[in-house]
Amino acid sequence: MLSTVIFDFADTIALMLPTNYELVNSVASKKGIEIDEDVFNKSFKYTSEFMPYSSLKITSSEEKTDFYYNFNSWLLKSLGLFHMIDLEELLDVFFETERHWALKSGVEDLFEYLNNEGVSIGIISNFDSKLEPILEKMNIRKKINCLSVSQNKGLEKPDKQFYMDFFNSYDLDKNESLYIGDSYNLDYVPANGLGIKTYLLDEKNIYQDMNFIVRNVCEVSEKI
């Protein structure tokens, strides 16, 4: 039996609400455009893999605005909507809408199960220093035994050193650990490359017929 299960945070155990789809579709609907949610989610995932956000490289409001301008440009192009939706209006909606992180369904029960089974819980995330207060607000911080946040460490995924420092800091055995994240490039490739038992969360059914895929984060309870 494994001793530690390690999770990515954003889009693995938690979602930002309102969702990206809801915000983009709210702008599109004003133009009489209805975006298919499944098509949007796949386009968003592909764009995220191509242009991941970096809490280390993006440190000013100007850099953040530039990133999201470029990100949404690529997203709209992939949806065939670049000339149909006003990019400035879309950015205003993203920056002005009050959003919050929410745990995915079943995660709290999953953490309770792992704690009861004597399995340690870890989180390793490309995030800023706000992550720990977010976990406190979600009432799950006390259930998490090991936490590593990129902005606090000065390292980020997919840098393998970020993973290695995590295991060294908490004296964890890679052979007794399982890792799960939603990004093929940031999570699966580096963690698997270090010999960690790794699963890729693929809720959008992008990757098919592969033995390292789970469709729901709570499936990890079947893997330990």
Query: Integer distance in angstroms from the first to the last C-alpha of the chain?
Result: 6
* pLDDT tens, position by position, 156-193: 999 999 999 999 999 999 999 999 999 999 999 999 99
Averaged pLDDT for residues 17-33: 95
Please tell me whether residues 145 and 203 are part of one structural domain. yes
DSSP label of 143: G
Please tell me whether residues 38 and 86 are part of one structural domain. yes
Please tell me whether residues 10 and 29 are part of one structural domain. no
Which uninterrupted H or E stretch holds 70?
helix 61-79
pLDDT at residue 1 greater than cutoff 80: no
Please tell me whether residues 88 and 107 are part of one structural domain. no
Helix (H, G, I), strand (E, B) or coil at 52: coil
Please tell me whether residues 10 and 115 are part of one structural domain. yes
* pLDDT tens, position by position, 58-101: 989 999 999 999 999 999 999 999 999 999 999 999 999 999 99
pLDDT at residue 204 greater than cutoff 90: no
Residue that is last in its domain, among 46, 72, 98: 98
Please tell me whether residues 152 and 205 are part of one structural domain. yes
Residue that is last in its domain, among 98, 125, 148: 98
DSSP conformation letters of 103-132: EPTTHHHHHHHHHHTT-EEEEEES--TTHH
Q: How confident is the model at residue 205 (pLDDT cuts 50, 70, 90)?
A: confident
* pLDDT tens, position by position, 101-150: 999 999 999 999 999 999 999 999 999 999 999 999 999 999 999 999 99
Q: Which residue has the tokens 């790794």?
A: 198
Question: pLDDT at position 18, please?
Answer: 97
User: Which residues, listed in sequence order, are joined to residue 120 by a DSSP beta bridge?
Assistant: 4
Averaged pLDDT for residues 43-52: 95
| pTM assigned to the model | 0.94
Range of the domain at 214: 4-14+101-222
Q: What Rg, from alpha-carbon coordinates, does the chain have? A: 18
Share of residues in the chain with pLDDT > 90 (%):
92
Q: Which residue has the tokens 């796949």?
A: 42
Please tell me whether residues 185 and 84 are part of one structural domain. no
DSSP label of 219: G
Question: Minimal CA–CA distance to 175: which of 198, 145, 156?
Answer: 198
Please tell me whether residues 72 and 114 are part of one structural domain. no
Number of domains in the chain: 2
Question: pLDDT at position 39, please?
Answer: 94
Residue that is last in its domain, among 98, 120, 139: 98
What is d(CA 59, CA 117) in angstroms, rounded to the nearest whole number? 40
Question: pLDDT at position 152, please?
Answer: 94
Please tell me whether residues 109 and 63 are part of one structural domain. no
- In this structure, the number of other CB atoms found within 10 A of the CB of residue 224 comes to 15
Please tell me whether residues 120 and 168 are part of one structural domain. yes
User: Which residues, listed in sequence order, are joined to residue 149 by a DSSP beta bridge?
Assistant: 125
Question: pLDDT at position 30, please?
Answer: 92
User: Which residues, listed in sequence order, are joined to residue 213 by a DSSP beta bridge?
Assistant: 200
